[in-house]
Structure 1
Amino acid sequence: MAPATLEEIAAALYAGPPADFVSERNGRAKDAGDAGLAEQIRALRKPSVAAWVMNVFAQERADQLGQALQLAAELREAQDDLDAAALAKLGRERRTLTRRLAEMAADLAATRGERITPATLEAVTQTISAAFFAPEAAAAVASGRLIRALEPSEASSDIRAAVAGEVASPAPAPERPTDELQARRVRREAEKRVSAAEKDVLAAERELAKHDKALQVLQAKVDELTAEEAELEATLTSLRAERKRVQKDVPGAQKQRAKAAEQKDAAASGLEEARSALDDL
């Protein structure tokens, strides 16, 4: 049987009871049978409580954690093809999954007799979030040999330093066939054009509705003015007829006036003669 490697020994120590870490580490170093390996074992640092929680979960729920990390990798690859709404939905689902896994890990650690504080739970949540966003962090978490909790923004070198022993480089995501990439790109562009066209149609419909309303107002005004015009034309026709009727009476009135003027002149002459006769008396 091949002797245990540093990584195998570290995995056993880092998922064991925290209170027994130092004594177990020293015992494993003493039994190593190899001076170099023994020195490496004695150099192993005790993991933080949050790291221990993740190590227990990674080793005892390896399948469950592996499925979540695989899903996260597929989502990282697919998110370049998503629109803003789909990305927002993806973000909410990722946060929900992160919290659920963190709570499951904390519950598992609690069955080991450890008290998990809110601060520890938050550190576990951040570690899982880091694993979802970075392949290096995912490999570190899956190793079950974390020394400390991880942060989502950490550099690759810092992540590797947070793991006891070697960590295998994350396998590159399989490249999609060129035809598939081209098809996805063409479809994405077509979807963008459809979205833009839908927005143009909506804007055009709004503009048309605005002009329809303006036209209705103008048409109502035209109808109102047309009615007033018809009424005025009827009044004008009536006035013209009345004018013509009155105008026909003008010549007769003129003759009567002339006759009345003659009578007035004759009466004035008679008056003058009567006055003269009176003066002569």
Structure 2
Amino acid sequence: MIVFEKKLSDSVFRMNQFSKEGILLTIASFKDANLSISHGDFEYYKMIENPPPASINDAPQTTHWQNYLQIKGSYFLNKKNGIWREYGTNGKVTKIVTYIDDVLNGTYTDYDTIGNVITNGEYVNNFREGRWTMLSGIRDDIYKNGKVIKTTKNKEVIAAKERKQKEELLLEKEKHKYDVPPRMPVDFNFAISKFVNNARSSDFTPETFVVTFTVNIDGTISTPSVTGISDYIMREKIKDYFQQSKGWKPATIGKDKKPVDSWYSYRLISR
């Protein structure tokens, strides 16, 4: 659905485009009533799925949609001009590009998800020119006519990043040093091996399979998923076996050993 108008005070035709769900996709301006000459400010939006929380009985749910501003900039007689910005789902700018008559001229900047500069430099007539900061400051490249003529590593930035990584690693270890992962029931390895050997068909090829699942606080298992086995029937049998498994000790966190639901991965070689 497209809605457009031209007010007496306007020098352009305004246009809004919507999806079939009624979600705004584009805000645009045009020089002509045929909407063929882009002229003025443009905003492009992207639709993303926003599903509601699953109900207790897993009843079918209606898909909900929302949008976010993805790209914003201006045209002059069908050509991009000025600063164009791209945005992430969190509303933060992810990229800044500068155009003159549809040609890259001026500042170019890439950002990470929290707003730190990843790449920064200047374009001249569609070519990178001069000093470009790369990899969040780890390296500087000097360009001439779009080609790198010199590269310099920033040792101070590299050292600072390494220090920060070590500090974050130590903090993470300290945070989880009292955590205990889930533990399987006694003789579980023997029991599952016996089950697999008894359940498989005579022509079953030895395979290594992995079962991922959640160990719940009450010692039961939920959401098992099996990979590595090509036989569908065998895969479902193993999934059911894990689903019915009990007696697991849940993971605990912190000094007080608080039990929590936790993800677990089990690997078995069937012979």
Task: With the length of structure 1 as denominator, give the TM-score of the two structures.
Answer: 0.21
Higher helix share: 1
1 or 2, which has the higher strand percentage? Answer: 2
Normalising by the residue count of structure 2, what TM-score does the alignment of the two structures yield?
Answer: 0.21
Q: Looking at CA atoms only, which structure, 1 or 2, has the larger radius of gyration?
A: 1
